[in-house]
């Protein structure tokens, strides 16, 4: 409502109301009253003014006029007009020249999107990682062997795998930096995993248990050491301590030491001059 009132006032000024403003000067008297005049001038011991109310020139003794209060009122009126014009321009800028909103600055001139998500920065680009669903696959041959053996000398085994031999997102930088924006503190729970590639899938981890599913489950995965820094509430930076070998990787959330099957996967191209560790 306040903004609408400001626009109305500014438009009124621009449409010729400046003459009315000029005609509504107040010539203050020392008794606290004032005369509404269009102009005035001091002539010796008298003040000559044009009365708006009577549309005529009149004079009054200078001793009765409070010139300081009159000048203050004029300055206040000019300051108010200036403020109203500035507010009107600001409203116009917000409507027609609103700057693009930017997220957290991670490098000079490089900002994260404001949306929650997991992002990779390779030194030049901010890339949003895509979430993929893994599934638990049971080793059927090993399960059949367990049933034939009367003693629990073998362990049950299954794997967690992502479909396809390659992730859709590909990175070029051997030591990318990851940024996690999430209101639930996801960045504090993510682990970087080196994924083993097979013909039709990518193995994220192996799960082993005692015969018949009895005993504590063991989750075996190749975790990569990370430097984890909280930059702001809900924002974490994850950086591998060492350059990554070319291959397939995934960021996964650990919930009570168990891996969530919703993963953020990516592949790393081999960069010229950088070779794998063998």
User: What are the structural domain ranges in the chain?
Assistant: 2-96, 105-268
pLDDT of residue 271: 44
| Alpha carbons 86 and 157: distance in angstroms, whole number | 71
pLDDT bucket at 197, cuts 50 / 70 / 90: very high
pLDDT of residue 92: 64
pLDDT bucket at 93, cuts 50 / 70 / 90: low
Weakest-pLDDT range from 88-92, 205-209, 227-231: 88-92
Q: 236: closest CA among 191, 196, 171?
A: 191
Top pLDDT among 220 and 129 is at: 129
**pLDDT 10s digits, 236-259:** 999 999 999 999 999 999 888 889
The rounded mean pLDDT for the chain is 80
Contacts of 157-160 with CB under 8 Å at 24 or more apart are 157/206, 157/207, 157/208, 158/206, 158/207, 159/203, 159/204, 159/205, 159/206, 159/207, 160/134, 160/135, 160/136, 160/203, 160/204, 160/205, 160/206, 160/207, 160/259, 160/261
């Amino acid at each position: 409502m306040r903004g609408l009132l400001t626009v109305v006032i500014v438009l009124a000024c621009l449409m010729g109301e400046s003459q009315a403003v000029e005609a509504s000067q107040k010539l203050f008297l020392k008794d606290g009253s004032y005369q509404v005049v269009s102009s005035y001038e001091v002539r010796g011991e008298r003040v000559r003014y044009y009365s708006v109310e009577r549309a005529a020139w009149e004079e009054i003794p200078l001793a009765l006029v409070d010139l300081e209060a009159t000048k203050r009122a004029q300055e206040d009126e000019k300051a108010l007009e200036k403020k109203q014009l500035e507010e009107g321009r600001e409203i116009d800028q917000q409507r027609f020249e609103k700057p693009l909103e930017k997220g957290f600055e991670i490098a000079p001139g490089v900002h994260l999107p404001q949306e929650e998500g997991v992002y990779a920065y390779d030194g030049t680009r901010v890339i949003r990682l895509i979430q993929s669903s893994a599934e638990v696959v049971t080793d059927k041959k090993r399960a059949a062997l367990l049933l034939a053996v009367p003693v629990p000398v073998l362990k049950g085994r299954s794997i967690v795998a992502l479909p396809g031999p390659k992730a859709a997102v590909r990175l070029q930088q051997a030591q990318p930096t990851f940024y996690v924006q999430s209101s639930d503190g996801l960045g504090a729970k993510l682990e970087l995993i080196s994924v083993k590639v097979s013909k039709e899938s990518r193995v994220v981890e192996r799960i082993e248990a005692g015969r018949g599913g009895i005993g504590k489950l063991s989750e075996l995965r190749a975790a990569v050491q990370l430097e984890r820094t909280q930059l702001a509430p809900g924002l974490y930076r994850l950086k591998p301590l060492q350059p990554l070998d070319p291959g397939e990787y995934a960021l996964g959330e650990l919930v009570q030491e168990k891996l969530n099957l919703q993963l953020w996967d990516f592949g790393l191209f081999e960069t010229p001059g950088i070779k794998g560790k063998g």
